[in-house]
A and B are shown apart, each in its own frame.
Chain A
Amino acid sequence: MGVDTVTAIFRRVLETDGITPHCDFFDLGGDSLIATRVLSAVARESGVELTFEDFLAAPTPESLAAKVAGAAR
């Protein structure tokens, strides 16, 4: 799952267009509940079931995509 796919998930979930690969989900107002939508979308599209703690440690599209790639290997 690439950075572009994760960025698109962030845009869809936060309903915001201005998201770049370095934007922090939690700085954009995302909370633990909205985060479940990102984790569900990632699981649906990549098969990788990350946890909220994984997301806290990798809160940008770029870092989260790297986490998915690492978990999928």
Chain B
Amino acid sequence: MARSADQQGRAVILGTPGVGPVTPDLIDAFTQIVESHADRTAVVHNGRPLSYLQLDGLVQRAALRLGAGPGVVGVRTSRSPGVVAELLGVLAAGGTYCPVDPAFPAARQRAMVAAAGCHLVIDAETVPQGKSGVEPVDFTDLLTPRGTDGPDEPDGPQAPAYILFTSGSTGDPKPVVTPRGAITTVVGALRELFDLGPADRVLQFASLNWDTCFEEILPTLTAGAALVLDDEAHSGSFPRLLRMVERERITVLDLPTAYWHELVRHLTEDRAALPPSVRLVVIGGEAADPARLADWCALATGDVRLVNTYGSTETTLITHAVDLHGPRALALGRPWRPGDRVPIGLPLPHVLERIGAEGELMIGGPALALGYRGLPQATEARFGSGEDRWFRTGDRVERAPGGVLLHRGRLDGELKIRGIRVDPAEVEAHLTAHPQVAGAAVTGARLAGRTTLVAYVVPAPGADTAALAAGLRRHLTARVPGHLVPGRIALVERLARTSSGKLDRAGTHRHYEGRTPEETELTQRRQGAAAAEEEGNDGR
């Protein structure tokens, strides 16, 4: 598929993809389910059910309000059926959905709305004002008027369905544009993978700002199953979560791997099992810890499918999956042991894969994103150009017997913080934008078995070093989401460089680790964890 950029630098598709027809479109699939399952429950919100007919009413109202072809619609998210209705409403109207978290710093929200080229920004239901001190951000000066942003978008499978952001090295959010054909194809594949049917009740757990929520919402609502939204899922209390899962008879849980690790710890210490309604647990976002997997297998989980998944925003939700435990598990011949390498999976049927130079996993096929909006060079660097598009994942892999892939680390410095991709250069760009900073190196450090961000900062001459660390924390908190704010900021004299003069993040970390007074007490533990320093990263 060829692409070029128009005057606005926007990626424009010129050719047609060499992939089979994608039918029916996601919205057609939803409409068919509404007709055949009108009275069944589509969404449960804190115990209150909404039927497919009722949800469809909300979707149609949202689509009517937007009008046909509304362009890129920013939606201020909230955990409510309203956000589900707006997502489907934008797609039904032929628009492009772009979630905006009202809890993000105002500057970040504005940068996202500008980078996505939003034509309007709406609320996904009344976002409670004043809650957590969140004031709605005014975007009116940033909105792109309709008809002024180049040629009309294509219709059909190549029309953009949604825009989400990944971490970019410049400090600006990097918008990924995913076409309808990609999301339709992948949602169909996930219905199969999860074996979803009308009897299923799927918890909506993932943040509404990243694509994992789509793998909960869209397969569920095109299978006639029920999507369960419940505040107890986000209380931070496992006893409350598990009681809710039992009360709501949840059958499918899709959890960030880091959160699943904590769930396994909790269940193991309580010697408890999951409520019996749960038949499938999907994990993904970072490498599964084989020690937690061994713990999981020792619990009464033999009837529960545990499915590990892998994918990138640029390749749409999930490209690889494997049953690690339960009735369909890959035959290992013995229990999982700490020290095993946990596979990231086999490609789903729609996925083309190949292993490129340096063992890098390359993904092709109908699930590729259109590219990064307004960034033709970055798009070409990761997706290539011409007809034969392959996405460079940046993940090093190797093939195990049986064809499953094993993850072997990153080719770049990208990290996973709470399951979210972080390019350390993005945090460094925000730090060095501060007038009292001469240089910065950001990397990952282990704390209590988890990766947290640590920043090493060289103060500019004459900087007020006594107040700088706290000032930098305020500086970042006002500009970037929480996962980009380092857990620790240490002021240092200089940064390590490689022999060619490039910033050496790992070398800086090794040099200063444990030297700053506030960190001294953490040193012994981290040395113990040094062997586990290179946290696996599976791209999502």
Contacts and interface: CB of A to CB of B under 8 A. Distances in A.
Contacts of A33: 258-259, 261-262, 418, 450
A39 B521 contact: no
Contacts of B450: 31, 33-34
A39 B236 contact: yes
Interface residues of B, number: 25
Contacts of B234: 52
Given A16-B522, A33-B259, A44 B270 contact: yes
B399 interface: no
> Among A14, A16, A18, A33, which residue has the most Cβ atoms of chain B within 10 A?
A33
Contacts of A39: 236-238
A37 B266 CA distance: 7
Contacts of A15: 448, 525
Contacts of A13: 448
B240 interface: yes
B262 A37 contact: yes
Contact of B237 (A14, A30, A51): A51
Given A44-B269, A50-B237, A31 B488 contact: no
A39 B261 CA distance: 15
A15 B261 CA distance: 17
Contact of A29 (B237, B259, B262, B522): B522
B265 interface: yes
A13 B261 CA distance: 14
A72 interface: no
A34 B265 CA distance: 11
A16 B261 CA distance: 20
A62 interface: no
Given A31-B418, A33-B259, A44-B269, A16 B525 contact: yes
A39 B235 CA distance: 10
Contacts of A51: 235-237, 240
Contacts of B265: 37, 40
A34 B451 CA distance: 11
B487 A40 contact: no
A29 B418 contact: no
Contacts of A40: 237-239, 265-266, 269-270
Nearest to B529: A15
A29 B447 contact: yes
Given A29-B488, A36-B266, A44-B270, A18 B239 contact: no
B239 A36 contact: no
Interface string B236-266: 1111100000000000000000110110011
A39 B269 CA distance: 13
B313 interface: no
B521 A36 contact: no
Contacts of B487: 29, 31
B238 A36 contact: yes
A44 B262 CA distance: 15
B78 interface: no
A47 B448 CA distance: 24
Interface in B500-540: 521-522, 525
A69 interface: no
Contacts of A49: 237, 239-240
B393 interface: no
A15 B524 CA distance: 10
A46 B522 CA distance: 28
Contact of A14 (B258, B270, B448): B448
Interface in A35-58: 35-37, 39-40, 43-44, 49-53, 55
B222 interface: no
Contacts of B109: none
A14 B262 contact: no
A34 B447 contact: yes
Given A34-B447, A50-B237, A18 B521 contact: yes
B41 interface: no
A35 B521 CA distance: 20
B512 to A, nearest CB: 16
6 contacts: A14-B447, A29-B452, A31-B418, A31-B452, A37-B265, A52-B236
